[in-house]
Amino acid sequence: MHIQASKSSRTAHRGRLFIITLFVSIISTLKVNAHIAPTFLPLLHIKTSSLLMVAENPPDSTWAGFGNMLAKGMQHMRQGTYHLLFLFVLLLPAVLVVSRKKQWSGFGGVGYSLVRIFRITGAFAIGHSVTLLLCAPGLIHFPIRVIEVLMALGILLAALHAYRPIFARKEVYLAACFGLVHGIAFAETLIKLNLDAGHLALGIIAFNLGVELMLGLIIAIVAPWLIILSRINHYNGLRVGGAVLAVIAALAWATEQISNQPNFVASAVTDAAGYGPWLVLLLALCAIFGFFMKVASSTAASSYYK
């Protein structure tokens, strides 16, 4: 009796803590809908034409040019459907442990999840930073179509891993390897601006910093919901469903690049990315609903055994 009451008290306490966390996360999610935060609004609303004009006629103010390229990096990451899809699918099972049967099992704990999310994201960031530094100045060049097919391959492998742990405890290497590929795609954006050597050096730093800032903001908003959802029984459905959809998207995108013919699936995925903030909000609402359902179920069970 006392044990059940103690469990009920702990459940209620956890509930209050989660409510505070959920409230803060919802505010953050809604801020993404408004393009992250008022501080970044001037940067995120800079049009591409303005950025190109700055690149062709650099302003006298070095910091103005730096801010423009920072905004370009943030915008590129925010609109990078396949950059984000690769990371999201790779992070889906990051909160889970692997069973002895080599299958995804239950929630691994908050600390375990945060460490794995940080390591995977950090490896991806290091990988794309290396190739961005090498490819933007033109030291190394790869055909963009080959790079896009490789990015689709990365999504496919991440999706297969989300379905079944084929890269168990090796996700960092997968993230770093394909981070190199994504960095080449990032570099193409800078190459098209035709910056001179002096402005290119500063542009690479600012652009990469913008990419990292947006990446960090997106992960900070999405990660809490994944952690909360992973404690609910229906998380496996989200993981498997996300993996299947990612496989379809990757195959469609690879087919489009190889055949050089657009297809409706790849177009639909690109269009859906425009609703990214709303999809994050939907993820948050599912997490909130699932969490309160679990709390209600635990409370009812405690009351039954009193």
Least reliable range by pLDDT among 68-77, 263-272, 291-300: 291-300
* 1 pLDDT above the threshold of 50: no
What distance in Å separates the CA atoms of residue 77 and residue 214, rounded to the nearest whole number? 6
Residue written as tokens 């996300």?
A: 242
* 248 pLDDT above the threshold of 50: yes
The answer, as to whether pTM is greater than 0.95, is no
More confident position, 12 or 98: 98
Q: Which pLDDT score is estimated for 306?
A: 60
Confidence tier at 61 by pLDDT (50, 70, 90): low
Confidence tier at 196 by pLDDT (50, 70, 90): confident
What distance in Å separates the CA atoms of residue 154 and residue 175, rounded to the nearest whole number? 9
* 158 pLDDT above the threshold of 80: yes
Lookup: tokens for 299: 């409370």
Distances (CA, A) of 82 to 17, 177, 225, 269, 297: 34, 15, 21, 9, 38
Burial (0-12, 13-18, 19+ Cβ within 10 Å), 261? exposed
Q: Long-range contacts for 95-104 (Cβ within 8 Å, ≥24 apart)? A: 95/226, 95/227, 95/230, 96/230, 96/239, 98/165, 98/168, 98/169, 102/164, 102/165, 102/168, 103/164, 103/165, 104/164, 104/165, 104/236, 104/239
What distance in Å separates the CA atoms of residue 3 and residue 172, rounded to the nearest whole number? 41
Average pLDDT, the chain: 82
**Closest-CA residue to 185 (of 138, 148, 214):** 148
